[in-house]
Structure 1
């Protein structure tokens, strides 16, 4: 793909994605204008609308049900705040803590978080569970959630499904069908600057949640709500907006639109082909994930010596493969660890 400029050996999109040229160039132009005061901020903010609409299309949502912010944990907080005392939340034992801590901080009012291994999650969706809070793709292991099974089990008992899709949107096809909330940061597989988070809230969940972080940007008339005590919030999910970090969204809009243009199914095929080529070279079975996590003593040092940038998570080597990854990257990585296999 000639839209990116990766230095060979980048196998760490699960930590952060590399910006496509249109995103990088849009960000540089905005920074140049900021430096000399060439424009007001409103043109930068138009990117927030573009990015919101692009994200909505990517997950099959109505843009009116999508809110923007800066972090996953802040996006989950209004949902956790709306839980009744004594509610029980089910999560994965390796769940990234941005989708765990916002629930756990309510322990003083009896909210309980129950964590089970990934393979036991669906079976643990039983009466008494009020929320299933889980990642569509796990950060540490790369495990892909059986989302239809989770949705079906949750519907049977009336539990909410709150999905962290940070490691999924951009390469793994999914929609908000049957999901009450879907939150994703865009700086990984959506290849945007850190600071642009998107969240879907179902209309029924919007009614249950208080927009406790509401500010001027959450108003029906943004530009008419700078001062004073008169509050008229947006009737849709935008009332949960946090005032956006402008430059993050300037970079996010072109990146998300490029993902749309290429197509998530196309990206998925590319990523899985390379990830499974890497797995085969390690003697592992094929998988449905763009993230490969494996115990391989000495691999971190071997990668570093060969100029391969990957990660170690939960004691395991984690390599991740995206649209700008090439077969040459895979072969370089396999050559680096070949003496260890």
Structure 2
């Protein structure tokens, strides 16, 4: 691990980028790797196998970040597609609990099974743990909420779910890369890497517990899910890989070419270091708005006129559910925070 100052030169953002919750900015090693692969692709300089080595690197880096065995990690392209086999494995009449502001990619995969009697119940986030009671088969929720930045009490969710035998499925897309996370007690943890892991869109990685692997059918299995991918191109002979790799979807090569060095850089810097940096800046921003300190790298607050004020000042943030959403990451500086607060000062 190092200090953020040791790595500052790996990004060159235009001042005022406060929107990592929408997409992260690539560090130089990821950008350079992607440009090299694109240059090779343009002229046909290589086969695809060298690009695919990045998929293995990203899988292994993700496993280390969340404390999983790489054999329990699968790759894909989207969170909703990654959740589909889990939803299909639910029994008829199953009951799923989620947050009432949950991102729809974590809701629709269960809801499309309504014709089988699968029911999705949504409650306010601060009531979620108390709502985990007998009758629920699965709890599906984000580690950090996209619209509000609310951080889940994952340990409490796991403990309450274990008491009733419910599965726990976590979307870490707004968390992994700045919030320390482990898969202990979790049945599935899935993340897209294009936000806080600063990768090209198209690289999703997930953990499946051994008990969940046994329950699920790899319904999207193709050649890349084969035990030996080069022997799985043609015909009806199917020998799927062991472990979670049988749930692999054929990877978007260039997305993983960019993802592998980005994930490895997060490891090198250290999530705890990133976490401290992000919270310091987020709380500086909160203080400037007259808000109490928080525990999230995402700040969400109703502030009429904020979007227009930011646009005039060249600040790039987002509005979600009618609220200003600003997000802070490795490459965010104190100057970015003060620039944003200056833009908002007439509204306060």
TM interval, short-chain normalised:
over 0.9
Paired residue for 2:4? none
Corresponding residue SS for 1:2: helix
Alpha-carbon distance in structure 1 between the residues aligned to 2:184 and 2:128: 19
Check if 1:223 corresponds to 2:230: yes
1:220-250 deviations in whole A, cap 9, x for unaligned? 0111110110000011100000000000000
Alpha-carbon distance in structure 1 between the residues aligned to 2:211 and 2:330: 36
Paired residue for 1:292? 299
In structure 2, the gaps of 5 or more residues are: 1-7
Paired residue for 1:135? 142
Paired residue for 1:239? 246
Alpha-carbon distance in structure 2 between the residues aligned to 1:98 and 1:53: 25
Alpha-carbon distance in structure 2 between the residues aligned to 1:248 and 1:211: 22
In structure 1, the gaps of 5 or more residues are: none
Question: How far did 1:5 drift?
Answer: 1.1
**Number of residues of Structure 1 aligned to a counterpart in Structure 2:** 341
Check if 1:84 corresponds to 2:72: no
Check if 1:73 corresponds to 2:80: yes
Question: How far did 1:334 drift?
Answer: 0.2
Question: How far did 1:143 drift?
Answer: 0.1
1:145 aligned to which of 145, 152, 160: 152
Check if 1:321 corresponds to 2:293: no
Question: How far did 1:2 drift?
Answer: 1.1
Corresponding residue SS for 2:9: coil
1:282 aligned to which of 281, 289, 292: 289
Paired residue for 2:264? 257
Paired residue for 2:278? 271
Q: TM-score, normalised by structure 1?
A: 1.00
RMSD of the alignment, in Å? 0.3
2:37 aligned to which of 19, 30, 33: 30
Question: How far did 1:335 drift?
Answer: 0.2
1:83-133 deviations in whole A, cap 9, x for unaligned? 000000000000000110000000000000000000100000000000000
Paired residue for 1:43? 50
Alpha-carbon distance in structure 1 between the residues aligned to 2:208 and 2:12: 35
Paired residue for 1:120? 127
Alpha-carbon distance in structure 2 between the residues aligned to 1:299 and 1:73: 32
Alpha-carbon distance in structure 2 between the residues aligned to 1:70 and 1:208: 22
Corresponding residue SS for 2:299: strand
1:156 aligned to which of 163, 171, 183: 163
